[in-house]
Amino acid sequence: MRRYLGALGHVGLVIILHLVSSFAVALAIASYLGTVHDMAPVAIQAYIETQLALLTATAGVLTLVVYWLLLRSSGRRMGQVISREPPRPRSMLFALIAGAGWSISLNSLLHLSGLHRMFPEHGDLMARLVGEGPFLAVMLTVGIAIPVIEEILYRGIIFGHLETVFPGTCALFLQALIFGLMHGNPLQVAYATVTGLLFGLGYQRFRSIWIPALLHIGMNAVSVFEARVILQFVPSIPRIPTLMLGILLLLPTLYWLWRESGESDHRFR
């Protein structure tokens, strides 16, 4: 029992560190804008909301730096915590395509089911994340930086630590639930939990942070591209054909990834 509580305590510490880092970054921005530029609190809040992606990425980097310093003080290295052995190039390509397929399928299902209208706060959040700033900057932060940071944090550190104590399946579901709950609004909690299972399974089978990171990059990059490019030319996307496209991209690549992980002798525990 002590081992289980210790593992949960370690995970809780990482989550608290992440939340404190997010608060610290927001506070630092607010203090700078209020002191140097004499901005009113309402204007500061509005500005921070438009910079949500950059704030999220910066807070993630700060969390990882502090965690790395804590590891160093205990005589450990990040490489001892996170499995980062690169898989085969074709496995990396399959992961990227599967992530894109998952994004297309998920976005299509959300629109076909009407859930995007039932949870308007989700649309507002996505608009703040991907709708503000130059396209390239948004793609680099939301499409690449945030996925890499989150995968190191949730799959590499949190999932990796849970696996040292809990059975593999239990650890898989725990990390997915934590990942989902950290996304806040109910709709994101639901699909981020399922997404966390997919990413966690990729990490568990391949023992490499590369696979979930590329799955996540494929997912986020397609979402950014849809919001910032496709919707500018096709305001009303036909969702049934896009759902079929997403499934055609997702299912074969997941099957190939499953076979690849088996051939590499990385077995699901």
CB 243 within 8 A of CB 109: yes
- Asked if 99 and 218 count as a contact pair (C-beta separation under 8 A), the reply is yes
Residue 263 has pLDDT above 70, yes or no: no
Rg (alpha carbons) of the chain, rounded to whole number: 19
177-223 pLDDT, tens digit per residue, is 999 999 878 999 999 999 999 999 999 999 999 999 999 999 999 99
pLDDT computed for residue 123 by the predictor: 83
User: Is 234 part of any domain?
Assistant: yes
pLDDT > 80? residue 131:
no
- CA–CA separation, 159 vs 228, rounded Å? 33
174 vs 48, which has greater pLDDT? 174
Tally of structural domains, the chain: 1
- Going by pLDDT thresholds of 50, 70 and 90, the confidence category of residue 267 is very low
Q: What is the pLDDT of residue 8?
A: 87
Instruction: Provide the domain limits for residue 184.
Output: 2-263
Q: So what's the pLDDT on residue 269?
A: 40
* pLDDT for residue 132 is more than 90: no
**Does residue 158 lie within any of the structural domains?**
yes
Residue 96 counted as domain residue: yes
Mean of all residue pLDDT scores within the chain = 90
Is 57 part of any domain?
yes
Higher pLDDT, 248 or 265: 248
Question: Is residue 268 one of the residues assigned to a domain?
Answer: no
Does residue 269 form part of some domain?
A: no
Q: What long-range pairs does 116-122 form, CB within 8 A, spacing at least 24?
A: 116/187, 118/187, 119/185, 119/186, 119/187, 121/185, 122/185, 122/187, 122/188
124: Cβ contacts below 8 Å, ≥ 6 apart:
none
Residues 44-93: tens digit of each pLDDT: 888 888 888 989 999 999 999 999 998 888 888 887 778 778 889 999 99
- Residue 13 maps to a domain: yes
Mean pLDDT confidence for 16-37 = 91
Q: Does this model's pTM top 0.85?
A: yes
